[in-house]
Structure 1
Amino acid sequence: MLPRPKDTLQSSLFFDLRSTLNHRHPLFQLANKIDWAMFEREFSPLYSPDKGVEAKPIRLMVGLLILKHIRNVSDESVVEQWSENVYYQYFCGGTEFVAAQPIDASSLVHFRHRIGEAGFELILAESIRVNDDVDFDKPQVVFVDTTVQEKNITYPTDAKLHKKIVENCRGIAAKSGVTLRQSYARVVKALNRDIRFNKKQSKAARRKLKCIAGRLVRELDRELPLESLHREQIDLYKRVLSQTKDSKNKVYSLHEPSVCCISKGKEHEKWEFGNKVSVAYNEDGLIVGALSFRNEYDGHTLLPAIEQVVRLNHRPIKIVPCDRGYKGVSQVLGIPVLIPSNGKGCKSEYERKKLKKLFAQRAGIEPINGHLKSDHRMGRNFYKGIFGDNINSMLAAAAFNFKRAMNVLLDYILRWISQLFEQNISIKPQN
């Protein structure tokens, strides 16, 4: 049921957060800059007006999602820290300190699915708007690059997948009441030992493990009825057992079958397992777009990425500098796309220096990608499925922008304090 509106301006008789906290704290100021009424207005139609238990306040749920990615913590941790941090509680709309946890951590999962990808685009658009030190009327230069968002899976091998299939088949048989002719528990244990420690027998042990997995899958396929809830899993196991080294669209994880294998090109780490993310930022260091893809060619991701930038910013785009991975694309939506050339052509020395400076500025997106991965939970995506890939990239970009706004506010406060201190020194009477 839709949560009832509460008067957040009414002061508490015992402990009022607004009058007690430091008003110069960046999190306090950011809470006053975000348009929470917009989230209330956009997300209220997603709730039933009169059915069910009264839901938690929308500001609380949105605030917890933002804090989670700003502080780089899990659902459980952000809920626990909320009960200990008065600035978290004020940020989420609290008026007085509450020592108990506001919600169960699983409620954030349901809320993410409730608002959908469109809701996370609203959060990303709001993170752009709160950075009011940027001139939004001036045409912007948008730099676009792609990076890989790794999924929370182990390094995939055929032996791992086959072992997992055997374990899952036993679980399916136990749930469905099917009695297997043989469980292969002792045999699989010995095979795993040979795969790990016996180099001479490891190849034969891997073949034997695959054979056992195929037997169990075929037996369940015969015994389970056609309308069984486990049919989709059985089909996935068949697909894993039939794939070879050169197969396309391979399955690398049973619980995340949509994971792609993306070549990294580095000697220490040749492959990454996840999905591709297109990140767009402007010359002010503000991320203006973040969109998730599977493993498309970079040039094919440019049109949807620029369409998202136009949709979220409503600000004219002057040019779009990219790297050589976007070769073959000269313009998108009528906007020129600049790609580094090999130095040939009839450009003047002035134009060459200007382009060189522009592409050097484009390289500044690399540390931004690093901050998204190390500071805002894009380095390892814990969300489920393709929907989780899409929302994790937008939440990481929104957290980066909110953190930028907090740093701008903190720098402004420090400058103001230093100027005030210098003025006090200058007017101090001398003995």
Structure 2
Amino acid sequence: MIEQIFTEAFLEEWIKHNINDSKNELVILRTIIPWQKITSRLSRFYNIKKGRQAKSLRILLGLVIVSKLRLLSDEKVVQQAKENRYIQYFCNVPDKKLQTFINPSTICTFRKRIGAEGAAIIEKEVFNFLRKTGVIKNDAQLIDSTVLEDNIIYPTDVQLLYKSFAKMRQFAKQNDLPVWWDEKYIKKLWRMYNLAKSKEKINYLWDFYLVFAGTVNIFQNYLEEVPFLIKKLESGRQLSELLNLLDDQTVQKLRGQKNIKNRIVSLDEVDARPIKKGKSHPPCEFGTTLQVSFNRDGFMITTENFIGTPGDKTLFINTLELYRERMKGYAKKAVTDLGYRSLNNMKEGKEKIETIFMGRVEDVPDEIQSFCKKARSATEGFIAVAKTWRGFGRSLYKGFEGDKIWTSLSQLAYNLHKFIQLDTNEKIEADSLVKLGLYG
């Protein structure tokens, strides 16, 4: 059960006494975020009439935004809300029961409940507001791709096989099954592997695989013969499919094959893939492909996650369309690097956009070559800032859907931070807020 309409927690007297800095970023952002519109849309993820009364969506929404803006954990953002009046004001947390107003785990539960779709709703509503008020301008589209790294250790073939035993052990424990392999032998092999010299480590792959292959066969027999509950059986089948993929790629590795298609690099982050982005360091990153586009001011307009490494050439036209949908029109200029360059992209792109720069100065007239080269350099800077300071460097969420949640909330925080950096005369005027029903 959830309330669709929230009430302001603070009286004017409380605000005058506690909020002295009207230029504080949280005070400004509290004014521009369309709280009621977002909470009304998020309420559909709850049953309005049945069940236990849920925590205030307004408070949860505020805490999630602050956690991304300040790069705080759930525990830290709750702690700071108790100590910092500006965070308390931004999140609409009343003084009553302040010290026990929420458990940090509730924030995690909230993100899981709304999922990637709910996170996209939050980001979209704030983005649309900034676009409608003219803060985000539709001048030029700067496109590039990077890697959204997953939070995994550097993978090796032996390490993946060793991890598979932990996965099967967990399944056995959850279903009261006896372990069907020699645990002591596996641990002994693992110790020997870690003590071996680098050149000798490959020899242990055969030892691990021989035990692994027989263990997986027995596991599949269990799934066919034991009467598991439906959810447990489905979980077992998913694990079995994953282990079969691991079996196939290990056999290919043992045969000497180096380029293995759709290679698994983690049994926890099964969507992660080895991705090379043409840089000397690191030569390879493990995660998903992140396709982004900015406007010339550096606001992040579009983000997309892809499993594996789809070619930039194949993504270009779709990215133009996604940008048009977000900005309600094409930009006059599009700027990319040579990775997007193809005759088809140039031809189709010029039917929609006046000027397209794809890494070569001859693509555009002399008078705008300087603009395009500077925009291309700026794109690298925008991505560097996003990955270094705004949370795009590494996803802390599990699974592809979790990466999408992480991306949407990071994009929201990035754009809000960009808005705060604008000069005072570029901020949204009060009459714009009045027209949109958010102020006055």
TM-score range, shorter chain: 0.7 to 0.9
Structure 2 CA distance for aligned equivalents of residues 411 and 400 of structure 1: 21
Q: TM-score, normalised by structure 2?
A: 0.83
Give 1:412 deviation, angstroms: 8.2
For 2:432, the equivalent position in structure 1 comes to none
What pairs with 1:132-171 in structure 2 (closer than 5 Å)?
135=134, 139-171=138-170
Q: Contact (CA 8 Å) 2:216, 2:243: kept in 1 or not?
A: yes
The whole-number CA distance in structure 2 between the counterparts of 1:162 and 1:344 is: 52
Q: Secondary structure at the match of 1:219?
A: helix
The offset of 1:147, in angstroms, is 1.0
1:40 aligns with 39
Q: Compare 127-136 and 166-175 and name the one that shifted more.
A: 127-136
Q: Tell me how far apart the structure 1 counterparts of residues 291 and 100 of structure 2 sit (CA, whole Å).
A: 36
The one-letter code sitting in structure 2 at the alignment partner of 1:11 is L
Number of aligned pairs?
406
Write the letter of the residue equivalent to 2:46. Y
The answer to whether the 8 A contact 2:10-2:92 is kept is no
Q: CA deviation at 1:6?
A: 4.3
Q: Match of 1:289, SS?
A: strand
Query: Pick from 291, 315, 331: which aligns with 2:304?
Result: 291
How big is each residue's C-alpha offset from its partner over 1:351-403, in whole Å with a ceiling of 9 and x where there is no partner?
23522431222221212212212222211101121112222222212111111
- Residue 436 of structure 2 corresponds to none
Change (3 A) 1:18 1:8: farther
Deviation at 1:154, TM superposition (A): 0.8
* 2:251 counterpart of 1:238: no
Bigger Cα displacement from structure 2, 111-120 vs 124-133 = 124-133
Quote the Cα distance in structure 1 between the aligned partners of 2:27 and 2:137: 29
Kindly indicate whether the alpha-carbon contact (under 8 Å) linking 1:293 and 1:301 is maintained by their aligned counterparts in 2: no
Give the Cα separation in 2 of the matches to 1:80 and 1:236.
Answer: 40
1:314-349 residue CA offsets vs partner (Å, 9 max, x unmatched): 35521211111111212347235623465568x7xx
Identify the residue that residue 428 of structure 1 maps to in structure 2.
Answer: none
Mapped pair 1:319 → 2:318: no
Q: What is the letter of the counterpart of residue 369 of structure 1?
A: I
CA contact (8 A) 1:142 1:283 kept: yes
The residue number in structure 2 matching 1:251 is 264
Is 1:189 aligned to residue 187 of structure 2? yes
Decide whether the 8 Å contact of 1:262 with 1:271 is kept in 2. Answer: yes
Q: Is the 8 A contact 1:148 1:272 kept in 2?
A: yes
Flag the 1:337–1:277 CA change in 2: closer, same or farther, 3 A. farther
Distance in 1 (alpha carbons) for counterparts of 2:175 and 2:161: 21
In 2, are the aligned partners of 1:64 and 1:92 still within 8 Å (CA)? yes
Q: Secondary structure at the match of 2:332?
A: strand
Worse-superposed segment, 371-380 or 97-106: 97-106
State the partner residue of 1:376.
Answer: 390
- Which letter maps to 2:289? K
Cα deviation code 1:22-75 (max 9, x no counterpart)? 223221121112111211232233322210111222221221221111111222
Change (3 A) 1:263 1:201: closer
CA distance in 2, matches of 1:170, 1:119: 35
The residue that corresponds to 1:416 in the other structure is none
2:223, 2:124 → 1: CA distance? 49
What is the distance in 2 between the residues matched to 1:16 and 1:343?
59
CA offset digits 1:199-240 (Å, max 9, x no partner): 365333221012112222222222333653412212211210
Q: Is the 8 A contact 1:327 1:339 kept in 2?
A: no
User: Per the alignment, do residues 285 and 18 of structure 1 end up closer, same or farther by CA in structure 2, a change over 3 Å counting?
Assistant: farther
Q: C-alpha separation between the residues in 1 aligned to 2:90 and 2:76?
A: 16
Shift of 1:93: 1.8
TM-score, normalised via structure 1 length:
0.84
The 1-side partners of 2:419 and 2:181 are apart by: 61
Residue aligning to 2:287: 274
Letter in 2 for 1:398: L
Percent of residue pairs bearing the same amino acid type: 26
* 1:427 paired residue number: none
Q: 1:205 to 1:336 in 2, by over 3 A?
A: same
Whether 1:198 aligns to 2:199 is no
Unmatched runs of 5 consecutive residues or more in structure 2:
253-257, 428-440
Amino acid at match of 1:115: I
Aligned to 1:3: 3
Deviates more, 1:136-145 or 1:152-161: 136-145
Q: Distance in 2 between matches of 1:300 and 1:79?
A: 43
State the structure with more CA Rg. Answer: 1
SS in 2 for 1:16: helix
CA distance in 1, matches of 2:178, 2:45: 45
C-alpha distance 324-156 of structure 1, shift in aligned 2 (>3 A): same
Q: Structure 2 vs 1, CA of residues 2 and 342 (structure 1 numbering), >3 Å: closer, same or farther?
A: closer
1:417 maps to which residue? none
Offset from partner CA, 1:136-187 (integer Å, 9 cap, x none) = 69652111111110001111110110111122223333333333454232x2
SS in 2 for 1:145: strand
1:353-392 mapped onto 2 (5 Å cutoff) = 353-392=367-406
Greater share of residues in helix = 2
When residues 52 and 304 of structure 1 are mapped into structure 2, their CA distance, relative to the original with a 3 A threshold, is farther
CA distance 1:65–1:305, change in 2 (3 Å): farther
Residue 95 of structure 1 deviates from its aligned partner by: 4.3
Q: Residues 109, 9 of structure 1: CA spacing in aligned structure 2 closer, same or farther, 3 A cutoff? A: closer
